């Protein structure tokens, strides 16, 4: 191994270990639910943050910067600072805030680190699902320490598909109509209510595929890497990069069929 390759592996291990420690700590914090919630509306009445979103983000940011003060931060609840080290952390302190607010399972803590070439490591901690997923670029994907792989050679008619809906009312109505049209062509639909868990569900083989529009970078970064390391393709429409316009995630054969169906 070259000196550069050795350095990169050491750095990836450092970043992954830090992400695992911090994701577990944030998950422990969030498992202690407050007796009441303070809600801060964001883009709409459906899109809100709680005091626990902010507390989790503070814990994550403070912990990362204590260990790596030169790194950058992109956070859903407003934490943002440029990187001096070449590494930027992309964090979602509670992915699935609505689930968390209602006491439903599936919410998670999502932490990724990226460099100039893309996401390097990703961790998704979903305590209510007894699951910590992690992945590192080129090193595979794991759930609770066991390597995972997405389902392959799944026909569209047999596919169990996860999805989610936009906070924008007009977009969600159009998405619901697409689901109505899609239902005769697939096995069934599932909705976990948190994008990172949807992506990790594909990685684990809990579902066969996933698609959703309106994802932000912090929704996609960690779970997207984990899904890719588990053998899934993660793209937008017609092979474009995944993101706000569309994210499609599935094993190669189903991904091709689902991409064609979505258009």
Tokens (6 digits) for 156: 């569209």
CA 92, CA 73: separation in Å to the nearest integer? 11
> CATH number, domain at 219?
3.40.190.80
CA angle 149, 217, 120 (to 5 degrees): 55
> CATH number, domain at 104?
3.30.540.10
Q: pLDDT digits over 35-75, tens only?
A: 888 888 665 656 578 899 999 999 999 999 999 999 999 99
Q: pLDDT digits over 205-256, tens only?
A: 999 999 999 899 999 999 999 999 999 999 999 888 898 889 999 999 999 9
Phi, psi at 253, each rounded to 5°: -70, -45
CA angle 88, 213, 251 (to 5 degrees): 80
Instruction: Name the β-bridge partners of 248.
Output: 211, 235
Q: How far is CA 260 from CA 24, 41, 117, 196, 221, in A?
A: 38, 36, 28, 23, 24
CA 263, CA 259: separation in Å to the nearest integer? 6
pTM: 0.93
Question: Are 173 and 254 contained in the same domain?
Answer: yes
Question: Are 36 and 140 contained in the same domain?
Answer: yes
CA 171, CA 118: separation in Å to the nearest integer? 29
Helix/strand/coil (H/E/C) assignment for every residue in 66-131: HHCCCCEEEECCCCEECCCCCCEEEEEEEECHHHHHHCCCCCEEEEEEEECCEEEEEEEEEHHHCE
Tokens (6 digits) for 41: 């509306």
Question: Are 216 and 164 contained in the same domain?
Answer: yes
Question: Are 141 and 242 contained in the same domain?
Answer: no
Rg of the chain over Cα atoms, rounded to whole angstroms, equals 18
Contact 88, 114 (CB under 8 A): yes
Average pLDDT over residues 73-100: 94
Question: Are 103 and 13 contained in the same domain?
Answer: yes
Question: Are 71 and 198 contained in the same domain?
Answer: no
- Burial of 32: CB neighbours in 10 Å, binned 0-12, 13-18, 19+: exposed
Predicted confidence band of residue 2 (pLDDT cuts 50, 70, 90)? very low
DSSP 150-217: ---S--GGG-EEEE---SSHHHHHHHHHHHHHHGGGSSEEE--S-HHHHHHHHHHTSSSEEEESS--H
Q: Residue 162 is part of which domain span?
A: 156-262
Mean pLDDT (the chain, rounded): 93
Question: Are 8 and 107 contained in the same domain?
Answer: yes
The pLDDT assigned to 8 comes to 85
Average pLDDT over residues 132-158: 97
Question: Are 107 and 12 contained in the same domain?
Answer: yes
**Predicted confidence (pLDDT) at residue 140 exceeds the cutoff of 50:** yes
Question: Are 75 and 129 contained in the same domain?
Answer: yes
Question: Are 129 and 165 contained in the same domain?
Answer: no
Q: How many domains does the chain have?
A: 2
Which of the listed residues 122, 147, 172 is the one where a domain comes to its end?
147
Which of the listed residues 147, 171, 201 is the one where a domain comes to its end?
147
CA 219, CA 52: separation in Å to the nearest integer? 18
> Left, alpha or beta for 231 (phi > 0: left; psi -120 to 50: alpha)?
left
Share of the chain above pLDDT 90, in %: 80
Question: Are 137 and 174 contained in the same domain?
Answer: no
Question: Are 178 and 218 contained in the same domain?
Answer: yes
Q: Which residue has the higher pLDDT, 207 or 6?
A: 207
**Predicted confidence (pLDDT) at residue 203 exceeds the cutoff of 60:** yes
Predicted confidence band of residue 6 (pLDDT cuts 50, 70, 90)? low
Angle between helices 195-204 and 217-229 (to 10 degrees): 0
Contact 226, 200 (CB under 8 A): yes
Which of the listed residues 130, 147, 164 is the one where a domain comes to its end?
147
């Amino acid at each position: 191994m070259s000196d550069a390759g050795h350095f990169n592996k050491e750095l990836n291990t450092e970043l992954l270990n830090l992400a695992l420690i911090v994701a577990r700590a944030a998950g422990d914090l969030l498992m202690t639910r407050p007796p009441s919630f303070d809600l801060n509306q964001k883009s709409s009445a459906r899109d809100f943050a709680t005091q626990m979103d902010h507390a989790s983000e503070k814990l994550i940011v403070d912990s990362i910067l204590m260990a790596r003060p030169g790194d950058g931060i992109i956070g859903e609840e407003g934490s943002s600072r440029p990187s001096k080290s070449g590494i930027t952390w992309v964090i979602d302190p509670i992915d699935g805030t609505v689930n968390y607010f209602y006491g439903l399972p599936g919410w998670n803590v999502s932490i990724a680190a990226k460099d100039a070439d893309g996401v390097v490591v990703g961790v998704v901690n979903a305590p209510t699902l007894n699951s910590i997923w992690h992945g590192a670029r080129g090193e595979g994907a794991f759930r609770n320490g066991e390597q995972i792989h997405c389902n392959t050679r799944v026909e569209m008619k047999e596919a169990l598909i996860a999805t989610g809906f936009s906070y924008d009312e007009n977009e969600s109505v159009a998405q619901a109509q697409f689901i109505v049209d899609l239902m005769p062509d697939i096995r069934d639909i599932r909705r976990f209510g948190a994008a990172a868990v949807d992506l990790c569900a594909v990685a684990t083989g809990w579902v066969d595929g996933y698609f959703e529009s309106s994802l932000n970078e912090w929704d996609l970064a960690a779970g997207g890497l984990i899904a890719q390391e588990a053998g899934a393709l993660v793209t937008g429409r017609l092979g474009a990069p995944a993101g706000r316009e569309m994210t499609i995630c599935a094993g190669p054969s189903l991904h091709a069929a689902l991409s064609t169906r979505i258009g």
